[in-house]
Structure 1
Amino acid sequence: MKPALSLAASLLLFCGHAIADCLTRGTGDLGIVIERAAGSLQIVDTTAHQSLFRVEGLGDLSHASAVYSRDERYAFIFGRDGGLTKVDILCGKIVNRVIQGGNSIGGAISQNGSLIAVSNYEPGGVKIFSTQDLSLVADIPATEVTDREGKRKGSKTVGLVDAPGQRFAVTLYDSSEAWIIDMKNPAEPKIQRHTKIGALPYDALVTPDGRYYISGLFGQDGLSLLDLWHPEKPPRLILEGYGRGKQKLPVYKMPHLEGWAVAGNSAFLPAVGHHEVLVVRQGDWVETDRIKVHGQP
């Protein structure tokens, strides 16, 4: 009996240490800081202003982004190398990691928190995973286009956001499309495709009320506006020709759109190729002001 008791005591001691390594606290004031060059992140306490954990082995984080689980315990990290990593921020460790593509730039978590979607530059398309174990739920290929070398490839997907009703919205850069992906039945995704939304849509955002999905256009002055409450209606062009009469400057790096602000009844949007921020009134989507800035937004 003594060896058995000794083994049981050792196991209890080991489990006690394992549990002690994880924090037992709320996560509302915790955050993550991406360490791009190192391929790691730090979990920080924003109240105490201190680092709690460093998590390594996250791959290429040169264009990293993250979303959180509904219970705020897990962070899902999207890496440029196609890596999708689930991190436990209370234990400071990787729970699961998959390489799901060759070049990805972001993703979103579904309204009920059960699905995580990733948009890909290579091979294009959208992949959707279970948040529980990162098992693949749906692989949605993008529209094929012909590249400069005459090869067929899937369009880059950008501006992936979650939308009300277990849906995702995504923009296709090369094929000038906006899709609404309905995942109410994960076994049978329903896709509503809108084509010819404008030249080279580079990124997108959804308004805080979940109604409007706006895609920025790199190939022309204007933005594409899709009403998610009436998805049967085609997107319409807003702010058409906002750079008319002005010399467009060379753009060395496309701006982001998803991180831009909607405050009160106004949206603040970047003027591509100009040193200006456009102020737009929601509802009729008419420009009301411009804010001059020192560089391209």
Structure 2
Amino acid sequence: MQCIGFIVFPGFDVLSCAVMSTFEYANREIGEPVYDVRLLSETGGSVRASIGVSVATEPFDDTNFDTLIIGGSDVIGSLTPGAIKFLQQALGRCRRVAAICTGAFNLAEAGLLDGRRATTHWYHARDLRDRFPKVKVEEDRIFIIDGPVWTSAGATAGIDLALAMIEKDFSADVARAVARKLVVYHRRAGGQSQFSALLELEPKSDRIQSALAYAKRNLDQPLNVRQLAEAAHLSPRQFSRAFCAETGQSPAKAVENLRIEAARLMMEQSRHSIDVIARQTGFADRYRMRRAFLRTFGQPPQVIRRNARAEAAA
């Protein structure tokens, strides 16, 4: 049986605790208690969540946990010396250490993320990068595995991380069955983006939606305002005005975001050369695509491809 310690700090996010249910369902699927999950805090006793409810916890002790997971919290503050010491020792005593959402700040404060790739909720990613410059923050990731240290994006991404753990511990079939019982997608890959360009735009009218759908189908074409306006059955002037009003972006910026999203997926999931990907996604050449990647992700396409392959190998 694998013993999993789930750490909460005052002000923790209840949703991040959904990770524990993932291991519970794995026990049910396998038909025996393969995971023993314990709720921990530094001093034990009652710990209050951000929403006001409290949970009973066990104190930190010398128990050897297979996996130690830190839940996310709305309160991002400094750890006590005792908590830092416990986390620093954990990396040598546990097979893996993980953080959900803003729990990454706790790992970073304890020095466990120094020199490692990590992610957190997109809203807090830049703060994590600014406060802990030794951490290689990748803000647009569902979860990241760097050796024995796992980090995930916002609270629900913790379920994806837990499913990946179950798949690694047992099999893809078990993880898929657990996901099905939880009624969640099996399973978002760690390298999947936290964002969707189309969802972020959220167009309200059918005409603007039709223009975006046309753009996504024809990314290798020039896609000027006239073409998009024709797809929306509007004049170019009417289209530009309506598009900006509904999406908050210019048509050119929206098309670039769609191209970046498509190019990134191809970089991560295909073996096409950078030149081919640039042409197929409408960037014309690799240099324009590189500049777009640096503006958006702070990394060139080659680094994103290398990181995706490293994750797949892990």
TM range, smaller chain: under 0.3
- Normalized per residue, which structure has more strand? 1
Q: Which has the higher contact order (CA 8 A, sep 6+)?
A: 2
State the TM-score, normalized to the length of structure 2.
0.24
